Amino acid sequence: MNPIQKTCIETGKSFVISVAEQEYCRENGIPLPVIHPHERLRHMLYFRNRLYLYHTKCDFSRKPILSCVPPESGQKVYDIGIWESDEWDGADYAMEYDFTKSFFKQFAVLAKNVPWPNLALNKSLMENSDYTNGITKAKNCYLLFSASFNEDCMFSSYLNSCNNVVDSTLVTNSEFCYECVNVNQGYNLHFSEQCFGCSDSYFLYNCQACSNCFGCVNLRNKEYCFYNKQLSKEDYKKKIAGIDLGSYKVVQSELKKFRNFSKDFPIKNIFGKNIENSTGNNMFNVKNTRDSYLMQNTEDMENCIWLTDAKSSFVQAMFGNNSELVYNSITVGDNAYNIKFCNEAWPDVHDLEYCMFVTHGSGNCFGCVGLKRKQYCILNKQYSKEDYFDMVRRIKKQMMENGEYGQFFPKSMSPNYYNESEDNLFFPLTKEDAVKKGYRWAEEKEAPDFVPSYKVPDNIKDVKDDILETELKCEKTGRKFKIIKQELDFYRKNNFPIPHVSPMKRLEERSGVLAVNELHDEKCSKCGVNISTTYDAVKFRILCEKCYLKDVY
């Protein structure tokens, strides 16, 4: 058996179906895909929103709540505490399967009737962490999204196991970091990107195991360097003592200087560490992982995004945590096994197909929504084991005949807008292109006409407590925002200036790092060997790993 070259029926782009995916589809009776993997991922991400929260009411208690489901969609939502409880049962919405109607039409009715959770988090694991979403566990966190096991973190997304991390994205196992992107094992690190094991430093790019460095690029195991120049400890301390990062003007000047300095340095064709027989970008401890992005501790994966501790899966996005044999599914994890065409399935679930929000050890369910601890259910109706497998066989046969089996849920079932879903982070589109592809788009509301009465001092040392009582104006959106006490304390303690841009706008702009660029072939700009990369050779000088290691060591 050889890889098969296909042309995507939606985009006309060529893509390859690997031998492994062919074998998986054959063993599971799934038609070979006809849509490019990135379009399949785009389709699934349209069903996921963690960043945007809306004011609405719980359809159970009628109390005001925040929700990641747009209220105007008409989708019923319950407060997560109620949704997780035994106060209601998804089985009460059971439907009899009708073979005169298509599966997706029947499932759409069920999905609309069954309440969805307003947020993706576990209230029992949350402590003083309002205005967060997509959280596994958090303490004293604020405006934190898609993150797990964090404490005292603010205005950030995609954090794992962090403490006192602020205004950052894609940061793992780190403490006391500010304005960081793609950082692993950072400590007291600020204004830095693509760093591993660095500490007590400012303005670093692509550095590893460096400490007490400022404005450095591509360094390894260095200390007391200033813009890549080695200094003595005394000279380094004198140098940075003359740079007052408590001043907003000084910070902006240093950022501009550092970006210009960074332009002339080469980059490796793939960012990551411990990468074996794998392609994609942003990968740590991966093996046999093809065309995948933001992966950690994965093996035998293809066309996946943002997974940790996952193996033997295809076209899976978001989550992981000991998941295995997952196909064309999103937000699946925590010991999930053998999951196909599902959205939101966790923990300890197994053998699910075409399910949404089926959780807590459920298994052998087909076309179900909002079930917990259930087995052998179809459209939320309970069957005997024998009748379940017989019905599933008949439903799959019908779906195969009308072209439904092997496809993800229709876009019309998502309550989200493209520009407010995680699609716009990983696969950004213009409004015109999104609408052309059949996605909804939220129109931006006009910013209120607002003239702030408070002028923010340039330096944090001049900021008084009265800033907590006033509204500031975002320089980029014109919208109002406020400084909270936890935030002010952080800036004062670390000698950083008050930001001039609202927290949500900062989150949006920093999330640009998540965009998945097409994997393509290039040549190493030094030795000419063929390399696979997502970087643009016009913008960057890209090196193969061998040449890059020679350059940095």
- Reported as a single tens digit per residue, the pLDDT across 502-517 is 999 999 999 989 999 9
Question: Is the separation of the CB atoms in 269 and 542 below 8 Å?
Answer: yes
Instruction: Please classify residue 124 by burial: count the beta carbons closer than 10 Å to its beta carbon, then call 0-12 exposed, 13-18 middle and 19+ buried.
Output: exposed
Task: With a cut of 90, say whether residue 445 has pLDDT above it.
Answer: no
CA quadruple 300, 306, 310, 315: dihedral sign: negative
Asked whether residue 90 is domain-assigned, the answer is: no
pLDDT at 149: 94
Question: Given a cut of 90, is residue 430 above it in pLDDT?
Answer: yes
User: pLDDT per residue over 468-498, tens digit each?
Assistant: 999 999 999 999 999 999 999 999 999 999 9
Tens of pLDDT, residues 34-57: 999 999 999 999 999 999 999 999
Measure CA of the first residue to CA of the last residue in the chain; give whole Å. 43
* Burial (0-12, 13-18, 19+ Cβ within 10 Å), 367: buried
> Considering Cα of 297, then 301, then 303, then 307, what sign does the dihedral take?
negative
Among 250, 268, 286, the domain-final residue is: 268
What pLDDT does 233 receive? Answer: 98
Residue 197 is predicted with a pLDDT of 96
pLDDT in tens, 314-365: 999 999 999 999 999 999 999 999 999 999 999 999 999 999 999 999 999 9
pLDDT tens per residue, range 236-286: 999 999 999 999 999 999 999 999 999 989 999 999 989 999 999 999 999
Mean model confidence pLDDT for the chain: 96
Helices 385-401, 103-113: inter-axial angle, 10-degree rounding? 120
Into how many domains does the chain fold? 3
Residue 448's pLDDT is 81
Structural domain contains residue 156: yes
The reply to whether 200 falls in a domain is: yes
Beta bridge partner(s), residue 171: 159, 183
Average pLDDT over residues 91-113: 98
- Rounded to 5 degrees, φ, ψ at 370 are 70, 25
End residue of a domain, out of 202, 234, 268: 268
Percent of the chain predicted with pLDDT > 90: 95
Quote the pLDDT of residue 137.
93
Q: What percent of the chain has pLDDT over 70?
A: 100
So what's the pLDDT on residue 1?
Answer: 85
Beta-bridge partners for 65: 56
Looking at the fold, whether 29 and 140 belong to one and the same domain comes out as no
**Same domain assignment for residues 148 and 262:** yes
Across residues 372-379, what is the average pLDDT?
Answer: 98
Q: E-assigned strands of 79-207?
A: 116-117, 126-127, 132-135, 138-139, 142-147, 150-151, 154-160, 163-166, 169-172, 175-184, 187-196, 199-205
What's the CA gap between 126 and 148, in Å, rounded? 11
Residue 477 lies in a domain: no
Q: Which token pair is 527?
A: 């030795």
Q: Residue 231: inside a domain, yes or no?
A: yes
CA–CA distances in Å: residue 493 to residues 153, 154, 176, 486: 15, 15, 11, 11
Distance CA 337, CA 340 (A): 9
The reply to whether 178 falls in a domain is yes
- The answer to whether residue 81 scores a pLDDT higher than 90 is yes
108 alpha-carbon distance from chain centroid:
26
Cα–Cα nearest to 200, from 238, 182, 174: 174
**Burial state string for 249-266 with b = 16 or more CB within 10 A and e = fewer than 16:** eebeebeeebeebbeebb
Q: pTM for the full model?
A: 0.95
Q: Which domain-ending residue is among 219, 241, 268? A: 268
How large is the average pLDDT for residues 214-218? 98
**321 touches 308 (CB < 8 A):** yes
pLDDT band for position 447 (cuts 50, 70, 90): confident
pLDDT: which is higher, 215 or 130 = 215
Which residues does 402 contact at the CB level (< 8 Å), separation at least 6? 102
Can you tell me the mean pLDDT for 209-219? Answer: 98
Long-range contacts of 319-324 (CB under 8 A, 24+ apart): 319/346
42 within domain boundaries: no
Q: Please check whether residues 264 and 139 belong to one and the same domain.
A: yes
Is residue 300 a part of any domain in this protein? no
Residue 372 has pLDDT above 90, yes or no: yes
Given a cut of 90, whether residue 526 has pLDDT beyond it is yes
Parallel, antiparallel or unpaired: strands 150-151 and 375-378 = unpaired
Residue 20, domain extent: 4-35
